[in-house]
């Protein structure tokens, strides 16, 4: 299927609310219908083709080009197809998504994959705050699916997430896994302070040492079998989790006991060389 290509032709002066840019809708739309889709430039309703050069029609595969930092809600609630984005993207990318794939060659802003229930988001750059989080007031964040960030991430990664997996390649800021209810967060380059605060359940795996809160208790060292199984699934994203007993071990911490929670934080401790 030939993809629909959207090239940003002028940068919005204020945010452009563009939840219409979504494979579900475009799959059924003619070129003219796509061009006439309504987006909100601030509070003004404008046609999509005022901001984008559009090629193609009736496809659930979308390719976007341009500096989209002010374009919000791309792929909101999408359930199928794919979006490939070359450039930086604004807030709420893939929020509430139910399926399909998003790949970004650039950086993304806050709230990406917020409250998503299925599908995959892969960001080759860095992400802003609240990756896969719950919106303010909501009971649960991400409920399924996978988010991979190759670079760093801001605060509150996976806040209140219930299921699914988030992998952060670079360092994450404060409150990763805040009030987590389930699911898995993998921190390949560690995180700043208060990781796992208020977590009820779920797993945070860090490959770098973490400054943990005193409400997490040491609860043994081991090489969990599930890490090996999980690692095999992650291979297609280009990395693996270490779990060779000859090379190191995971230190397990249970918490957050102030809630009191039944979550776990696993921190990889490599044996000294030689």
Partner 1 sequence: MLRIIGGTVYDPANGINGEVKDLYVADGRFVSKTEEGQTIDATGMVIFPGGVDVHTHVAGGSINFARAMTPEDHRRTQAFIRTKTRRSGLGGMAPTTFATGYLYAGMGWTTVNEAAVPVLSARHTHEELRDIPILDKSSLVLMANNEIILDLLEDGEDERAKHILAWHIWAAKSYGVKAVNPGGVASWKWGKDAKHLSSKIEGYDHITPGVIINKLAKMVDSLGIPHPLHLHCNNLGAPGNVETTLETMRHLEGSRAHFAHLQYHAYGGDDWGTMKSEAAQLAEYFNAHPNMTTDAGAVLFGDTVTITADGPWQHLLYKLTGRKWGNLDVENETGCGIVPYTYRPSNLVNAVQWAVGLELLLLINDPWRVFLSTDHPNGACFWRYPEIIQLLMCADFRNDCMAKLPPEIKNRITLPEINREYTLYEIATITSAGPAKALGLPHKGNLGIGKDADFVIYHHDKDIARMFGHPRYVFKGGEIVIDDGEIREAPQGREYLIKPSYDPNTDDFLKPLFEDRYCMSFENYPVEMERIEHAQIQNCDATDATN
Footprint on this chain of partner 1 (rule: CB under 8 A): 134-139
Residue 19 CB, nearest distance to partner 1 (Å)?
11
The CA-atom distances, in angstroms, between 68 and each of 1, 71, 187 are: 25, 5, 27
Would you say 199 and 180 are in contact if contact means Cβ atoms under 8 Å apart? yes
Considering the complex, state which of residue 150 and residue 156 has its C-beta at the smaller distance from partner 1.
156
Alpha carbon distance 38, 18 (integer Å): 8
Considering the complex, state which of residue 30 and residue 138 has its C-beta at the smaller distance from partner 1.
138
Considering the complex, state which of residue 136 and residue 236 has its C-beta at the smaller distance from partner 1.
136
* Residues in Cβ contact with 106 at an 8 Å cutoff, skipping those fewer than 6 apart: 85, 86, 87, 88, 89, 123, 124, 125
Considering the complex, state which of residue 137 and residue 245 has its C-beta at the smaller distance from partner 1.
137
Considering the complex, state which of residue 139 and residue 246 has its C-beta at the smaller distance from partner 1.
139
Residue 150 CB, nearest distance to partner 1 (Å)?
29
CA 92 to chain centre: 10
Helix H segments across 81-150?
none
Residue 43 CB, nearest distance to partner 1 (Å)?
9
| Residue (of 91, 141, 93, 147) closest to 119 by Cα position | 147
| Residue (of 153, 218, 229) closest to 185 by Cα position | 153
Considering the complex, state which of residue 122 and residue 160 has its C-beta at the smaller distance from partner 1.
160
* Residues in Cβ contact with 203 at an 8 Å cutoff, skipping those fewer than 6 apart: 183, 184, 185, 263, 264, 265, 266
Considering the complex, state which of residue 71 and residue 133 has its C-beta at the smaller distance from partner 1.
133
Residue 137 CB, nearest distance to partner 1 (Å)?
4
Would you say 197 and 217 are in contact if contact means Cβ atoms under 8 Å apart? no
Residue 108 CB, nearest distance to partner 1 (Å)?
19
The residue with tokens 């303010």 is: 136
Residue 254 CB, nearest distance to partner 1 (Å)?
21
- Tokens linked to 50: 């005022």
Residue 39 CB, nearest distance to partner 1 (Å)?
13
């Amino acid at each position: 299927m030939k993809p629909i290509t959207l090239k940003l032709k002028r940068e919005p002066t204020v945010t452009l609310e563009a939840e219409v840019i979504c494979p579900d809708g475009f799959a059924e739309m003619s070129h003219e219908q796509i061009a006439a889709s309504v987006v909100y430039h601030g509070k003004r309703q404008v046609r999509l083709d005022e901001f984008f050069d559009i090629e193609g029609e009736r496809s659930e595969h979308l390719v976007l080009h341009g500096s989209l930092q002010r374009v919000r809600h791309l792929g909101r609630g999408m359930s199928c197809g794919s979006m490939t984005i070359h450039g930086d993207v604004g807030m709420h990318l893939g929020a509430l998504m139910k399926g399909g794939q998003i790949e970004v060659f650039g950086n993304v802003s806050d709230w990406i994959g917020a409250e998503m229930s299925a599908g995959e988001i892969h960001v080759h750059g860095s992400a802003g705050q609240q990756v896969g989080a719950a919106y303010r007031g909501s009971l649960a964040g991400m409920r399924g699916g996978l988010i991979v960030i190759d670079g760093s991430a801001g605060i509150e990664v996976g806040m209140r997430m219930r299921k699914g997996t988030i992998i952060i390649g670079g360092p994450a800021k404060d409150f990763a896994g805040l009030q987590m209810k389930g699911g898995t967060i993998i921190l390949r380059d560690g995180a700043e302070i208060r990781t796992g605060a208020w977590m009820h359940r779920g797993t945070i795996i860090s490959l770098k040492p973490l400054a943990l809160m005193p409400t997490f208790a040491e609860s043994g060292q081991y090489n969990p079998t599930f890490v090996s199984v999980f690692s095999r699934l992650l291979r297609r994203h280009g990395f693996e989790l270490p779990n060779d007993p000859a090379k190191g071990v995971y230190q397990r911490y249970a918490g957050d006991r102030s809630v009191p929670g039944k979550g776990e934080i696993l921190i990889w401790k490599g044996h000294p060389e030689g």
